[in-house]
Homo-oligomer: A and B are copies of this chain.
Amino acid sequence: MNHIISNTDTNAYQRLTDRFARMATVEEAMAMLSWDEATVMPDGGAAARADQLATLSGVVHSMLTEPAVADDLAAVAASPPASVAAQRNLDLMHRAHRQATALPGDLVEALTRQASNCEKIWRAARSASDFAMVAKPLAELLALIREKAAALAAASGLDPYDALIDGYQPGIAAAEITPVFARYETFLHTALPAVEELQAKRPHRLPGTAPFGESAQEALCRKLAAGVGLEFSGARLDRSTHPFCGGTPTDIRITTRYDENDFAAALMGVLHETGHALYEAGLPREHARQPLGHAAGMAAHESQSLIIEMQAARSEAYLNYLGPVLAEAFGQDANAFSPVRLAARLRHVQRSFIRVEADEMTYPAHVILRYRLEAAMIAGDLAVSELPGAWNDGLHHLLAVTPPDDARGCLQDIHWYCGLFGYFPSYTLGAMAAAQLMAAARRAIPSMDASLSQGDFMPLLTWLRSNVHRHGARYGFNDLLRQATGKPLDPADFEAHLTARYLA
């Protein structure tokens, strides 16, 4: 009897892994279509592409919500698989199934429609810097998002806002994030004026002389991405309006854009996306296309892009390597790319209005602002009509600057207007995790700076593969940090990093 049950359950688990592999394969197709849309698709293809992505999304949703899934999950639960990996994979299947079945079909449909509608109006509102244009569609979208949060909360036992965060980064909740962000605000209150004072005393000469030719920039980006460890036999670098890392683990598509007046944006962008790419490429192949074989979450992903871009590539050691490489790439004098001049471009701290242009020290302030506002909106404590005022007050409170208009204020980011609530904290959790991981990697690799000063990322990459990438989704955010660094998220490492870099 036991034997028969065991057989049945094994088959049920096998059926589930087959099904999740098919789902992941369709999602790979969607990733390629999204890359195509952002890079090469002619305008005429837009409507058909939206249909293709919606249809494939529906295919995946159907695969996940067919009654057979619940049956198989129930059958396996009776005698769970023996290996820890399979148990975790099964937990992640349960989680995916719970999330997919928690939302009524008409809510999903209304959300998709309203997100698309609101995003379209937001584009016009941002152009006109007129929040009033988009206030009503955003309020309607927020109402649906709050329904979604309530439904996910009911299914998971989490608080509504936590249930949204959990959709992007499992393993951390607002109760942990709030004090971490409050502490950072306190740190910034003292550190930022101190950095500004120090900076004012130093010469501010930018590196090199524009123009920096696009093809020279592109060749340089390829060279440095390859130097970090990206293998172009399984990757491409292309152009898009908004840089991203897409594709699949064996066919990674990173993009950037080039500005001939500023080589640094494209270069640092490519190194950032290369960090994402290396994470994808380093995920456990033996669990490919299984929930366990995916990345651990968006904050974990951001930690991998930022450990390359912010921790390693902007380190003193790497700037020493970078200078001559840049001089050669642009055919300019090596003195024009001295560490001091590179730092003037790559390590300059400045209060500003725009999140995506912010330096690593003030960036968290932008995220903290959004975190507090979206938490209040989800809780029902902040109405959409109050958002512009709350935004401007909040930014002034954090950075003592006030946006001149809503285009440079609460209209600047797409996230809320296309329904992304709960995503923002991942940026700063990722930055803090990157500092914590880098500190641990430095302890494990005493020669880190010697390697980076030769442009050699292999020691760091090997450590990341072993301590982060190969685990896939085995751990939630804090557990991933715990096993890699010996402790859960600890903002002290990020503060120590900033202090060492900007206040030494």
Q: Separation in Å of the A58 CB from the closest CB of chain B?
A: 8
Asked if A43 is at the interface of the complex by the 8 Å CB criterion, the answer is: yes
Distance between Cα atoms of A22 and B233 in the complex (Å): 34
A42 within 8 A of B: yes
Write the nearest CB–CB distance from A19 to chain B, whole angstroms.
11
- Which residues from chain B contact A235 at a C-beta distance below 8 Å? 42, 44
User: Is the CB–CB distance between B236 and A47 below 8 Å?
Assistant: no
Shortest Cβ distance from A58 into B: residue? B22
For window 41-99 of A, CB contacts with B under 8 Å fall at 41-45, 47-49, 51-52, 55-56, 58-59
Partner of A25, one of B22, B36, B55: B55
Is A231 on the interface with B (CB-CB < 8 A)? yes
Interface range for A: 20 to 34
What are 14 residue pairs bridging A and B, where the CB atoms are less than 8 Å apart in the complex?
A25-B55, A28-B48, A29-B29, A29-B52, A29-B56, A32-B32, A32-B36, A42-B232, A42-B234, A42-B235, A42-B236, A45-B247, A48-B249, A48-B250
In the docked arrangement, what's the CA distance between A451 and B251, Å? 47
CB distance from A270 to the nearest CB of B (A): 16
Contact A251-B59, Cβ < 8 Å, known A25-B51, A32-B33, A52-B32: no
Contact with B along A12-28 (1 / 0, CB 8 A): 00000000001001101
Residues of B within 8 Å of A1, CB to CB, are none
Closest beta carbon of chain B to A342's beta carbon, Å: 31
Chain B, residue nearest A53 (CB): B29
Does A199 lie at the interface of the complex (its beta carbon under 8 Å from any beta carbon of B)? no
The residue in chain B whose Cβ has the minimal distance to the Cβ of A60 is B59
| Chain multiplicity (copies) | 2
A33→B42 contact, CB < 8 A = no
Known: A36-B36, A43-B234, A234-B43. A26 touches B59 (CB 8 A): yes
Cα(A250)–Cα(B45), bound, Å: 5
| CB <8 Å contact, B33 and A29 | yes
- Which residues from chain B contact A33 at a C-beta distance below 8 Å? 29, 32-33
- Is A175 at the interface (CB under 8 A from chain B)? no
Residue of B nearest to A47 (CB): B250
In the complex, A4 has a CB within 8 A of chain B: no
Task: Kindly state the separation between the CA atoms of A236 and B58 in the bound complex, as whole angstroms.
Answer: 28
Task: Tell me, yes or no, whether A40 is within 8 Å of chain B by CB.
Answer: yes
* Minimal beta-carbon separation of A281 from chain B (angstroms): 9
Task: Check: A248 CB closer than 8 A to any chain B CB.
Answer: yes
Given the known inter-chain contacts A36-B36, A59-B59, please indicate yes or no for A28 contacting B44, CB distance below 8 A.
no
CA distance A44 to B248 in the complex (A): 10
Q: How far is the CB of A57 from chain B (nearest CB, A)?
A: 11
Query: Which residues from 315 to 367 on chain A have a C-beta closer than 8 Å to any C-beta of chain B?
Result: none
| A29, A43, A232, A235 interface centre (most CB from chain B within 10 Å) | A29
How near does chain B come to A190, taking the closest CB pair, in angstroms? 48
- Among B45, B47, B251, contact of A41 (Cβ-Cβ < 8 Å): B251
User: Is B36's CB under 8 angstroms from A233's CB?
Assistant: no
Residue numbers in B under 8 Å from A250 (CB-CB): 44-45, 47-48
Q: Are B29 and A251 in contact, with the CB atoms below 8 A?
A: no
Within 8 A of B (CB), among A217-260: 231-236, 247-251
Residue numbers in B under 8 Å from A248 (CB-CB)? 45, 48
**Considering the chains assembled together, what is the distance between the CA atoms of A325 and B480 in angstroms?**
64
CB distance from A177 to the nearest CB of B (A): 36
CA distance A158 to B396 in the complex (A): 79
A58 CB contacts on chain B under 8 angstroms = 22
By the criterion CB–CB under 8 Å, are B44 and A233 in contact?
yes
Closest to A231 in B: B44
CA of A33 to CA of B53 in the docked complex: distance in angstroms? 13
CA distance A26 to B30 in the complex (A): 11
State how many angstroms separate the Cβ of A256 from the closest Cβ of chain B.
16
Partner of A22, one of B28, B41, B55, B231: B55
A52 touches B36 (CB 8 A): no
> Which of B36, B48, B56, B251 is in CB contact (< 8 Å) with A26?
B56
Given contacts A22-B58, A40-B40, 12 further A-B contacts (CB under 8 A): A25-B55, A32-B32, A32-B52, A33-B33, A41-B251, A43-B233, A45-B234, A45-B248, A45-B250, A47-B250, A48-B249, A48-B250
